[in-house]
Structure 1
Amino acid sequence: MPIITPDNGSLTVFNLFDTVDRDGQKTLLDTMQGIIEGANYPGWRSSTLHGGLDKPCAANYIQWRSLEDLQERYEGENFKHNTVPYFSELTTTVHLLKTEVIATHLHHSLEQIEISTERDDFTVIVIMGVKPENQARVVDLFAKPDESMQEVPGYRSNSILRGIEGDFVVNYAQWESREAYETFHNLPEETRSAQARAMRAEARPLLTSRSANTYEVVFSRSATDQPAGGQ
């Protein structure tokens, strides 16, 4: 079961895909699951496939041992000449985001942040664009724990990841339900904690863009798992 932590040294890659409709999403998810079931690449640690809820899309949360291992995969002839063209046909947009986990926050009832089909998390992935000179400050703002989140109904965890290329920050969040997330997301600003208001006020002008999608985990496999049909 994949664990999100800044302590394991993993390079985390978000493969984000948009599709035209739900039929396209299903084809994409089925195809990606087949690839994950047979994954056996040097340095690959885990892949967790997410299906989009608000719109037809998919996200693959992938953990690699190192950037060098990822580059070896991306530079392979099969990946460049078969995998990339095929996914280009299945999708309308593709984003491959290389990140590292900087900080994790979790409800005190949890011991660690797990991502798998054995859980029922309502997942939100937020991509925040920043200028390279502002990335470190944005990361610091979001990485600071906010104890008031412990009292928010339905909150489970969120993880802050720094984009390796320097121009974005990711917030990967788990909630008990859509209702719990939307209730929190739509809170009037004056009802938030003083720390949250100060953080949001400083971070807002530093962002060049913000996009958010909601997901459910549909398949997950780690390198320590047996491949489908394995003995």
Structure 2
Amino acid sequence: MPKIAADGQHLTVLNLFTTDTAEKQEKLLAAMRQIVDAAAYEGWISSTVHAGHDKFGTANFIQWRSTEDLDARYAGDEFKHRTLPLFGEITTSIRLLQNEIAFTQQKPALNGVTEVSPTRDDYTAIELFGVAEADQEDLVDALGASQEYLLDVPGYRTHTVLRGLKARGIEGKFVVVYSQWDSKEAYDAFRTEAQPDRVPDRLKVDARVQALRTWYDDNTYRVVHTRSAGE
């Protein structure tokens, strides 16, 4: 099962697709499963496919050995002439995000490990934050180390902050938060908590993030398929 660690050993890619119907989401998932199950690319480590929950779409959390290995994949005829055109037919947007893991945090019961797998029951949120280049590190800190208060939030399991390196489908710098929760109910309760009920640490972080971000987008997911090299 793929594990997330801020150890600098892997390039982490998030391929995010949106679409407009449940039928197209199922087509996306089928195509992604087929690609993942056939993957034998130099430097590819693992892929974990997510099905959109709150909005139609998919996410693929991919680990690569290096940027050079990913660039070779993108330069190949299969990707340029089969994969991208196929996804272009059934999506409303395509974002291919290259990142490095900047921070991870877990509930103590998870023993410092963040794992992504369809055998788990995580309710997963992926949030995208646009940011000015000069503010990217401040936003990484605000979304990561400054959010220790989350450990006391009911239903919270883990969150990971990814520093955006470069992307297709996004202009400028960005930061991604990948978080895992017990349930949709727990996540929604956290997101919709009234301002007067929020702890002071959260209010400070919320204000800091709001001041730093230039745009925001999100969706929630369930993990449906994974495969690693050698399986």
1:86 pairs with 2:86: yes
- Contact kept, 8 Å, 2:146 with 2:205, in 1: the verdict is no
SS in 2 for 1:200: helix
**Paired amino acid for 2:164:** G
SS in 1 for 2:109: coil
Structure 1: 4+ residue segments shifted above 3 A: none
**Paired amino acid for 1:51:** A
Tell me the C-alpha RMSD between the 2 structures.
1.2
Structure 1 vs Structure 2: percent identity of aligned residues? 44
2-structure distance, mates of 1:54, 1:101: 25
TM-score by length of 1: 0.94
1-structure distance, mates of 2:72, 2:96: 15
What residue is the counterpart of 2:31 in the other structure? 31
- Contact kept, 8 Å, 1:105 with 1:145, in 2: the verdict is no
Equivalent in 189, 202, 206 of residue 200 of structure 1? 206
- Contact kept, 8 Å, 2:8 with 2:100, in 1: the verdict is no
1:124 pairs with 2:125: yes
SS in 1 for 2:45: strand
2-structure distance, mates of 1:8, 1:46: 16
What residue is the counterpart of 1:229 in the other structure? none
What residue is the counterpart of 2:177 in the other structure? 171
What residue is the counterpart of 1:222 in the other structure? 228
Once the 2 structures are TM-superposed, how far is the Cα of residue 145 of structure 1 from its aligned partner? 4.8
Q: Give CA-to-partner distance per residue, 1:7-37, whole Å, 9 cap, x none.
A: 1511111111112200111011011101100
What residue is the counterpart of 1:113 in the other structure? 114
Structure 2 unpaired stretches of 5+: 167-171
Moved more, 182-191 or 87-96: 182-191
Once the 2 structures are TM-superposed, how far is the Cα of residue 146 of structure 1 from its aligned partner? 3.4
Once the 2 structures are TM-superposed, how far is the Cα of residue 194 of structure 1 from its aligned partner? 2.2
- Contact kept, 8 Å, 1:160 with 1:170, in 2: the verdict is yes
Once the 2 structures are TM-superposed, how far is the Cα of residue 199 of structure 1 from its aligned partner? 1.7
- Contact kept, 8 Å, 2:52 with 2:219, in 1: the verdict is yes
Map of 1:145-156 to 2, 5 A cutoff? 145-156=146-157
**Paired amino acid for 2:106:** L
- Contact kept, 8 Å, 2:48 with 2:62, in 1: the verdict is yes
2-structure distance, mates of 1:43, 1:49: 18
2-structure distance, mates of 1:208, 1:129: 5
- Contact kept, 8 Å, 1:105 with 1:159, in 2: the verdict is yes
Structure 1 unpaired stretches of 5+: 226-231
SS in 2 for 1:40: coil
Q: Give CA-to-partner distance per residue, 1:128-171, whole Å, 9 cap, x none.
A: 01111111110111221534322211110000000003610000
